[in-house]
Amino acid sequence: MSNLKKLAGQTAIYGLSSILARSINFLMIFIYTSYLNKEVVGSFTGIYALIGFLNIIFSYGMETSFFRFSTGKNLDPEKVYNNTQSLLVISTLIFGSSVFLAAPWLAEVMDYPGQAYLFRWTALILSFDAILAIPFAKLRLTNRAFAFAGAKMINVLLNVFFNLLLIIWIPILISNGNLPTDFLGYKLDWGVEYILLANLFANGLIIPYVWWKAGFFRFSLDKEILQPMWKYAIPLLFMGLAGVTNELVSRLSFEYLLPENFYPGLNTREAAGIFGTSIKLAILMNLVIQAFKYAAEPFFFGKSTDKNSPQLYAQVMHAFIIFCSVLMIAISVNLDLVAYLFPKDEGYDSAFYIVPVLLMGYLLLGIYFNLSIWFKITDKTKYSFYITLVGAMVSLIVVFTLVPILGYLGGALSTLFCYLVMTVLCYYFGQKHFPIPYQTGKGVLYLLIAFGFSYVGFYLKIDSLILGFLAKNSLILLFIIIIGLLEKKRLTTLIRGKQTD
């Protein structure tokens, strides 16, 4: 249990920073929907899906490779850090320049004629993210959770500040006559431009701080270190590409696949904005998964040589499923309250019915991450590519088939089916190559009950706001009681163990 407590403690620290960092996209969506129109929100959804996809190319699996070769390979971690960061700097210059030069072409392809500058800024955002990846990874590897969290929180605060400054404060000052209408070239008709600029400024300003905390690197390109790292990372690159296809293809392609007038009164980019807003609500599940991943990845690698590691991995998985199942119900049953945070009569809540589907999809992604430890510690990363490629194919088939027919639901089902297939395949092959005693039956049962409770609570309608809130949230308590009854033996053992201590 001490291992689980240590992991839980690090997850809490990483979680604070990760949730704050990721929550910016969740919390700022209320600003965007209040001060920007649905078409701008649609642009935000599409361009940031592109950024998510290209981020994988810019980092090409070297973050996980850095973890692997800094532990258990009899290499000097500092040399691994210097070589990895040196390689990332060089490749970032190449990739960043390529996207920068391709900006006019991207603007035409994505239907932003005359706005190539959006994609030049995108190139800079991607470059800043890439050269920060390994320093952040080093902070995690050396268990400097507070330094990591501090850097993330500073980045969050900067991002919030610039968003508020550019989207709210300056327009108010201009409208009140406190600033001239041409203040520093400010354009009142810009929207997604200011979202990108806020991100760009925040990421650029944080670079010196993160490099100082992690330690400045010495330029080094040692073939004996980088060649095996590259070989290890390549399958992860393709896994990442397939994985980000699974996660972002619906957001990136939604407005281009949805037929015109599918939703009366909305053009396809506006509908994409509504779809993207529902994804942002479901992203709360991803926040927990990301926080868990930050702590669990170095933790899992550190315990890989322990003979009891399979039992430990199984315990972590079981606790993860229970916690995330409760979270899924809690979010789903309170979506009607969330609707009050959006502008009235804008229709953002018209797609809320897909949120439980998305939550289940992201929960399965978290389970897949737990399962994937087998191919990472056995160096069989080629399986990651095969499994994720299948998932990408499922995602693409569902998106292209169902979005034109089902709209929002088609996009959500692509997430669910993709991660379901990946989870099943990863479990099947993992039990063959590195058996772990997961409590599979209970895990599946908890997921099904939680998913059912989520939709019962979502569709439960009671006129009284207070009674409705109590009735919906009683499902959370009921689920916890069910868990308590089914886990009675384990809980009794834990309590007796504490009393003995």
Note the pLDDT of residue 154: 87
Q: How far is CA 442 from the centre of its chain?
A: 26
Condensed to tens digits (0 to 9), the pLDDT of residues 158-191 reads: 988 999 999 999 988 988 888 888 787 788 888 8
Amino acid at 104: P
Distances (CA, A) of 394 to 127, 315, 389: 30, 30, 9
Characterise 183 by phi-psi region: left (phi > 0), alpha (psi -120 to 50), beta (else): beta
Look at residue 188 and tell me if it is in a domain: yes
| C-beta of residue 91 within 8 angstroms of C-beta of residue 58 | yes
Q: Which of 58, 60, 64, 57 is nearest to 128 (CA)?
A: 58
Kindly write down the DSSP assignment for every residue of 328-380, as one continuous string: HHHHHHTHHHHGGGSPTTS-GGGGGGGHHHHHHHHHHHHHHHHHTHHHHHTT-
Q: How many residues can be counted in the chain?
A: 501
Distance between CA 84 and CA 342 in Å, rounded? 44
Q: How far is CA 294 from the centre of its chain?
A: 12
Specify the residue for token string 């929907």: 33
Higher pLDDT, 239 or 125: 125
User: Which one-letter DSSP state was computed for residue 217?
Assistant: P
Note the pLDDT of residue 298: 66
Look at residue 497 and tell me if it is in a domain: no
Report the Cα–Cα distance between both ends of the chain, in Å, rounded.
Answer: 12
Look at residue 246 and tell me if it is in a domain: yes
Distance between CA 432 and CA 499 in Å, rounded? 39
Q: What percent of the chain has pLDDT over 90?
A: 35
How many domains, in total, are found in the chain? Answer: 1
What is the pLDDT confidence band of residue 500, given thresholds at 50, 70 and 90? Answer: very low
Specify the residue for token string 């997921």: 447
Does residue 44 sit in helix, strand or coil? helix
pLDDT at 497 over 50: no
| C-beta of residue 395 within 8 angstroms of C-beta of residue 412 | no
pLDDT at 36 over 50: yes
Note the pLDDT of residue 449: 96
Look at residue 425 and tell me if it is in a domain: yes
Q: Which long-range contacts (CB under 8 A, 24 or more apart) does 487-493 make?
A: 487/322
Note the pLDDT of residue 305: 61
Residues 6+ positions from 355 with CB-CB distance below 8 Å: 278, 281, 282, 331, 332, 335, 458
Q: How far is CA 493 from the centre of its chain?
A: 35
Distance between CA 205 and CA 348 in Å, rounded? 34
Q: What is the mean pLDDT of residues 70-77?
A: 71
Distance between CA 439 and CA 482 in Å, rounded? 16
What is the pLDDT confidence band of residue 5, given thresholds at 50, 70 and 90? Answer: low
pLDDT at 499 over 50: no
Note the pLDDT of residue 3: 56
Higher pLDDT, 14 or 51: 51
- SS3 for 368-425 is HHHHCHHHHHCCCCHHHHHHHHHHHHHHHHHHHHHHHHHCHHHHHHHHHHHHHHHHHH
Look at residue 238 and tell me if it is in a domain: yes
φ/ψ of 191, rounded to 5, equals -135, -80
Look at residue 471 and tell me if it is in a domain: no
Distance between CA 420 and CA 461 in Å, rounded? 30
Condensed to tens digits (0 to 9), the pLDDT of residues 398-444 reads: 999 999 999 999 999 999 999 999 999 999 998 988 888 999 999 99
| C-beta of residue 242 within 8 angstroms of C-beta of residue 389 | yes
Condensed to tens digits (0 to 9), the pLDDT of residues 291-314 reads: 777 666 666 666 656 667 788 888
Tokens at 349, concatenated: 């809540």
Give the lowest-confidence range in 35-44, 223-232, 296-305, 419-428.
296-305
Look at residue 480 and tell me if it is in a domain: no
Look at residue 396 and tell me if it is in a domain: yes
Domain that holds residue 298: 2-459
| C-beta of residue 473 within 8 angstroms of C-beta of residue 333 | yes
Q: What is the mean pLDDT of residues 353-358?
A: 94
Mean pLDDT of the residues in the chain: 84
